[in-house]
């Protein structure tokens, strides 16, 4: 047995990991399974309802592209091995940062596509009001009316409901990711 090794000795052919690392592996497995399931659901809903939202045909595209964003983070996990050269690890970190930025930009774009359509479909009308003062003041209200000749306010309720849920969940997740990245940056750089 190598005395300089920091790994625990083999017991019955397996590495002996402590209880904390077992919990970490279980949590990681659950998170990976959750992201994989969420991505599969995005692909299924986005492809089934691909042509069922004429008022905003880019919503299914938002789901389909958004399903593959977690793949950008897998690159970093694969490149974090201690046997990999430091420059390749930096490349993995760069992929993670670019993945977070792309995910944030794609989420903002998706929010812009989904929210107005969600409001139109759930309220069942073809117009929406934007108030400048926050009151129901007729002089401060700017009304945009979408006519049937310019744009139909139809979208499948399953698609728009799922897309709205994806927007909410993704905003929560990206907030956690950014907070975690800031804490990790602070820990690595400032301490």
Q: Are 35 and 77 in contact (CB under 8 A)?
A: no
d(CA 98, CA 104): 10
pLDDT tens by residue, 48-57: 999 988 888 9
Residue written as tokens 């989420």? 107
Q: Are 47 and 60 in contact (CB under 8 A)?
A: yes
Label residue 187 by pLDDT band (50, 70, 90).
Answer: confident
Q: How many helices (H) and strands (E) does the chain have?
A: 5, 4
Between 17 and 69, residue with greater pLDDT: 69
pLDDT tens by residue, 81-132: 556 677 777 777 777 778 778 888 999 999 999 999 999 888 875 443 334 4
- pLDDT for 148 equals 41
- pLDDT for 90 equals 76
pLDDT of 151 > 60? The answer is no
Label residue 76 by pLDDT band (50, 70, 90).
Answer: low
pLDDT of 9 > 80? The answer is no
Q: Are 129 and 137 in contact (CB under 8 A)?
A: no
- pLDDT for 131 equals 41
Q: Report residue 49 CA to chain centroid gap.
A: 20
Q: What is the pTM of this model?
A: 0.66
- pLDDT for 98 equals 82
Q: Are 23 and 121 in contact (CB under 8 A)?
A: no
d(CA 169, CA 107): 11
Label residue 30 by pLDDT band (50, 70, 90).
Answer: confident
CA-closest candidate to residue 162, choices 67, 22, 23: 67
């Amino acid at each position: 047995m190598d005395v300089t090794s920091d790994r625990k000795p083999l017991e019955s052919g397996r590495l002996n990991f402590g209880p904390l690392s077992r919990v970490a592996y279980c949590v990681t497995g659950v998170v990976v399974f959750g992201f994989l399931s969420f991505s599969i659901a995005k692909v299924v809903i986005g492809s089934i309802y691909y042509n069922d939202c004429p008022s905003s045909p880019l919503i299914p595209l938002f789901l389909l592209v958004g399903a593959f964003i977690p793949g950008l983070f897998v690159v970093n996990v694969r490149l974090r091995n201690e046997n990999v050269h430091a420059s390749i690890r930096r490349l993995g970190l760069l992929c993670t940062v670019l993945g977070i930025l792309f995910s944030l930009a794609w989420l903002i774009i998706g929010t812009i596509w989904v929210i107005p359509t969600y409001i139109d479909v759930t309220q069942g009308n073809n117009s929406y009001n934007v108030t400048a003062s926050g009151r129901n003041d007729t002089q401060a209200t700017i009304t945009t009316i979408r006519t049937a000749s310019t744009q139909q306010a139809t979208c499948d309720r399953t698609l728009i409901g799922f897309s709205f849920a994806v927007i909410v969940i993704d905003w929560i997740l990206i907030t956690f990711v950014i907070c975690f990245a800031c804490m990790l940056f602070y820990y690595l750089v400032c301490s």
